Amino acid sequence: MKPRNMLHKRSDQSSSISGPYKYLIEESDFCQRRQNLEIIAYVHSSISRVKKRNETRHTWAAVSSYNVGIFLGVIYVVGRAKNAYEDQIIRDESLQYHDIVQVDIEEDYHLLSYKSLAALSWIHLHCSEIPWTIHVDDDVVIDVFLLSLNLRDLNASDVEYFYCNIMYSNVMREGKWAVDPRDYSSEKYPAFCSGLMWFIPTRLIPRLLYASQEAPFLWIDDVYVTGILAEKANISLVDDPDGFGSQKINRKDIGRLMSWHAIKADRRQCWNDIVKHYRELFSATGPTNS
């Protein structure tokens, strides 16, 4: 299915910002089951990436179990199963962890923007009271201790921006990321967030969803959500180029960088290094500063 045709179907059927998205697995009470949540994170994944999800579950996504006052909920957003085997995998995983949101959308990178809108719509429907929303790819490690400290310096009721690593790019006309001029005629994209990780006050999500009803569609989700829709919704971007993204974890970067991606080393070991850093820090500074 081509994105242009799917867009017409969405525009004809949608009469509210919740959209026409169908959830095959919904977990509608996910946020209600977790007390004092401050952050809801949605992780783009696909059914076959079981190992990536399990690595995430046993690293930064488990921080709430550390009893350090960080209240984080993480959902994994996947598309339709390709066959009965995948369907059984995701249903078994959902029964075990209750953190899967499955959207009735084909797994295709040309449909990632619809997957993003479905995830944002799910958060708007079921987690609108949670102060912060984070988007993360499934190969990322987050220093959630540093993230939490940064968020507590901000007031979600006042912030009017995405916080991320800002990207600038010309429109590609050839290759994997080629965009037809009929879909996007400009030669440059608006500034947008790197899709590895970004965060935004949850209360701004309805503005993005409203904007999606009027803004021209683009299948490249990073550009579409944080560039085109953000611009239409009058939501600015705040850059932290030193805070996001590295492919190698060095001890000297812990406490300075918030995320690492596509790490060649085991993510569990990287997470253990992060935890060790903060245990040593808290031990040195005393419990009143932890």
Which pLDDT value is given to residue 60?
97
| pTM beyond 0.85, yes or no | yes
**H helix intervals, 153-263:** 205-212, 221-223, 230-232
Considering only CA atoms, which of 195, 220, 189 is closest in space to residue 113?
A: 220
Considering only CA atoms, which of 55, 37, 49, 36 is closest in space to residue 77?
A: 49
Q: Average pLDDT for consecutive 10-residue bins of the chain (290 residues)? A: 40 52 96 96 97 96 93 98 98 98 94 96 97 95 94 92 94 90 93 94 98 94 98 95 74 89 82 93 58
Which pLDDT value is given to residue 222?
96
**H helix intervals, 228-266:** 230-232
Could you tell me the residue ranges of all domains in the chain? 3-289
Tell me if the domain spanning 3-289 has CATH number 3.40.50.
no
* Those residues with Cβ within 8 angstroms of residue 6's Cβ, 6 or more apart along the chain or in another chain: 111, 114
Which pLDDT value is given to residue 243?
80
Which pLDDT value is given to residue 17?
64
Which pLDDT value is given to residue 281?
86
